[in-house]
Amino acid sequence: MSQSQTAIEESLARPLKTLSEEEKMFRDSVREFAEGEIRRRVAEMEEQGHLDPSLMKQCFELGLMGIETPEDYGGSGGSFFQAILAVEELSRVDASVGVFVDVQNTLVNNALLRWGNPQQHKKYLPQLASEKVGAYALSEAGSGSDAFGLQTRAVDGGDYFTLNGRKLWITNGKEAEIFVLFANANPEAGYRGITAFIVEESFAGFSVGKKENKLGIRASSTTELILEDCQVPKENVLGETGKGYKVSIETLNEGRIGIGAQMIGIATGALEAALAYTAEREQFGKTVNEFQGVQFQLAEMATELEAARLMVYNAARMKEAGENFVKEAAMAKLYSSRAAERITSRAIELYGGYGYVKDYPVEKYWRDSKIGAIYEGTSNMQLQTIAKQVLKL
């Protein structure tokens, strides 16, 4: 049995939330980074609407941008579960840093590791682990839930494809230098024409458009991408031509667990803040956490968070064990995003008026939680996936 198989066997013998020594050490190191380096920068990054470049650099230096990438390619040689722990811990302090690391690992690196050929691995994985930010570009103005209706076109020109079209809502769009981007190379074949490409920011005809002004995760960039006769070498087709739909579906199935991790991180941050505040705030001559009404609210929040965390960890462990995790990943994202919204909203109420202003952290947690019901498939799309599995459609 290989070392990683042994590690998976051992993890299955443990209660879901009990971490191995290695996982614990990894989680603690990410927590230390989040507490020591991220927390003091959160308010300013939120205000300015971008990530601090020195933090992004530290994410690379700490190995957080190539968690599952093998050490031979300059990565950390870690596990998917560790990537989930990283996203959770970062999001507990700042969900923008959480999604920055999440997209790099669960979407970009994952797609390359799974679908890339040896030359692509050799060329791109080391860059993504050490210095270059990646982004995942599927959505367009007219195709979100109906992702396969994308209008970006790729025309075969011999040694290269010429890409034309626009992508919208691309996380890390401003910082990224390497894009996993989807275009249709054979529109007559419908979704079977969709092809995944590795596009570099430096390719002629590629540019980054407008940056969105968002409700939450404000320090995370979300941009438009413009492709005007962008020439992409044929060796940059990721997987097979016409199999991009498979690349996108299967990557997003895994990515959803990462969004679940982001949501439980946000909810943990909000619950911790509410526990601390209600232990200090006095009304009627007592701290407010002495009132049973408040205690029950905190208990509800903790219970929902526990359920969400178990679902996210279970989906991640199932993926690692090689089981079919599609339903569980959709359920984990659906439930954890709803739980995060409820927990953060309740945290605001427990802060009273102070919860409604930007001097305290909880209003941001609430705004940040909302995205969980939208990206990587809206809640309705998760319900559709779950229904298909439950009803065997």
Ligand X SMILES: Cc1cc2nc3c(=O)[nH]c(=O)nc-3n(C[C@H](O)[C@H](O)[C@H](O)COP(=O)(O)OP(=O)(O)OC[C@H]3O[C@@H](n4cnc5c(N)ncnc54)[C@H](O)[C@@H]3O)c2cc1C
State how far the Cα of 344 lies from the Cα of 20, in Å rounded to an integer: 29
Provide the minimum distance between the beta carbon of 69 and ligand X in the complex, in angstroms, as a whole number. 20
State how far the Cα of 119 lies from the Cα of 123, in Å rounded to an integer: 6
State how far the Cα of 374 lies from the Cα of 169, in Å rounded to an integer: 11
List of residues contacting ligand X (CB under 6 A): 103, 136-139, 144-145, 169-171, 214, 222, 371, 374-378, 380-381, 384
Contact indicator for 256, 332 with CB cutoff of 8 Å: yes
Contact indicator for 116, 124 with CB cutoff of 8 Å: yes
Provide the minimum distance between the beta carbon of 384 and ligand X in the complex, in angstroms, as a whole number. 6
Contact indicator for 335, 309 with CB cutoff of 8 Å: no
Element housing 209 (H / E): strand 206-211
* Active-site residue set: 376
Cα 333 to its chain centre, rounded Å, is 11
CB count in 10 Å sphere of residue 287? 14
Look up residue 163 and give its amino acid: L
If you search the block for the tokens 């996203």, which residue do you land on? 87
Query: Which 8-state DSSP code applies to residue 65?
Result: T
Give the residue among 255, 321, 314, 313 at the shortest CA–CA distance from 104.
Answer: 255
